[in-house]
Amino acid sequence: MKYAFMEKHRSHFEVKKMAKAFQLSRSGYYAWIHRQDNPRKWENQLLVKQIKVIFERSKAIYGSPRVAAQLHREGFSCGKNRVARLMRQNQLRSRKQRKYKATTNSKHHDPVAANLLNQRFRAPQPNTVWVADIS
């Protein structure tokens, strides 16, 4: 991050002064400039592109285990933890589908009590209407 900042602001500030401010060596900065990119970084960029394709194809439902399995089927060699890390770094989170839970059983054969109140919650006098809540 610091080397990238130095590269970006190189035209405004001296490399020597920026290196001193960040407590870095100038030789380290110049070595960073001429360093070859890590092959793993290129592989990760390729994998992220393919992960995004699979993720979008699944309508954002697949999580890292399913994406990793699909990558294996398509011929990519990578582990599920690597896929999970790349998905996390790129903010790719699966949408969880909630299972339907029936909260009311309306198909029972038990007697249903009559609605004597009919939404009239004011009693004409005390002790004439009693209610309860079962929740």
- Tell me: do 17 and 46 sit in the same domain: no
For the chain, the domain total comes to 2
Structure token pair of residue 61? 């439902």
The three-class DSSP label of residue 47 is: helix
Range of 74's domain? 39-89
**What is the reported pLDDT for 113?**
82
Give the single-character DSSP code of 95: P
Q: Rounded CA gap, 51 and 53, in Å?
A: 5
**What is the reported pLDDT for 115?**
82
* Run of H or E including 85: helix 80-89
The count of residues in the chain is 135
Report yes or no: 4 and 18 within 8 Å, Cβ to Cβ: no
- Tell me: do 51 and 16 sit in the same domain: no
What residue type is 29 in one-letter code?
Y
- Tell me: do 20 and 47 sit in the same domain: no
**Which pLDDT tens digits describe the chain residue by residue (135 residues)?**
788 888 888 899 998 998 999 899 999 988 988 887 788 888 999 999 999 999 999 999 999 999 999 999 999 988 999 999 999 999 999 888 788 888 888 888 888 888 877 877 788 888 887 777 776
The three-class DSSP label of residue 80 is: helix
Question: Is residue 78 situated within a structural domain?
Answer: yes
> Which residue carries 């592989």 as its tokens?
43
- Tell me: do 62 and 84 sit in the same domain: yes
Structure token pair of residue 39? 């092959």
Structure token pair of residue 59? 């309508």
**What is the reported pLDDT for 135?**
67
